[in-house]
Amino acid sequence: MHAACLLAFWVGVSWPAIAVCFVLYWVRIFSITAGLHRLLAHASFKTSRWFQFALAWGATMSLQKGPLWWASLHRHHHANSDEEDDIHSPVQDGFWHSHVGWILSRRWEATMWKLIPDLAKFGELRWLNRFHVAPGLVMGAACWGIGALLERAYPALGATGGQVFVWGFFVSTVLVYHATFTINSLAHVYGTRRYETKDTSKNNWLMAIFTMGEGWHNNHHFAPSSERLGFFWWEVDLAHYVLVALSWVGVVWDLKKPPRRAYEVGERAEAA
């Protein structure tokens, strides 16, 4: 995937290709943080079965394996955060393993079904977990089709099927990879700690921007059941804002708030 990004020097670039890359980046980042993380792994809000599947499909387009695999391993991570059996701890195994080595490791290939009995009942999620490459392939074909359509209908734009495919599929996916993986690696190394948790999780405002709130990692490890990761008004949590807007029209509901003690401890920490 990384090497294929070099094809960009061959196919060139255009505004439509950059736009598709941009849109697919944010759609998948939102689907990962809202769908895989806040919904499936932590059940921090509720939604309909169809929107749950839509979020899982969007997240699986990121080519980070299946949604049930992802949720089960994330629950395992929280139970063992920065301990010897943690899946991706920079403290235990170093930066490379915590960033990308863990997802390539044969040790963590299997879905931990015992950790997700609440999710295993959904047949559509089990199907998606089994055929997790399907959404990515559909997305790639769509990128090529959009580019080919633009090439034929609007040649002045300079877009081609191959160009939109390279930027929308390869470049955008690699950007999503590293945005996601920095939370496993860098968010346990760089940032600030408001809460004394059992691990080394840290808050990092820059990571929070390009992951739609995931950078408030110390907040999250202090209160993992909270849908909102940026607890205070100045902590930008873009996914939370989108979910609140969706709650206004009934697409999602029962968004779990940070516990009162999170603000009590946090206010004391800010005052100090």
Q: Residues 211-255: pLDDT tens digits? A: 999 999 999 999 999 999 999 999 999 999 999 999 999 999 999
Q: What is the mean pLDDT of the chain?
A: 95
Kindly state the tokens that stand for 212.
């739609």
pLDDT at 201 over 60: yes
Does residue 1 contact residue 177 with C-beta atoms inside 8 Å?
yes
Half-sphere exposure of 217 (CA within 13 A, CB side): 29
pLDDT at 272 over 60: no
Kindly state the tokens that stand for 174.
């690699």
Q: Residues 117-162: pLDDT tens digits? A: 999 999 999 999 999 999 999 999 999 999 999 999 999 999 999 9
Alpha helices in the chain (DSSP H): 8-11, 15-30, 49-60, 67-79, 90-96, 102-104, 123-130, 134-153, 161-165, 172-184, 205-210, 217-222, 238-248, 260-271
Does residue 176 contact residue 62 with C-beta atoms inside 8 Å?
yes
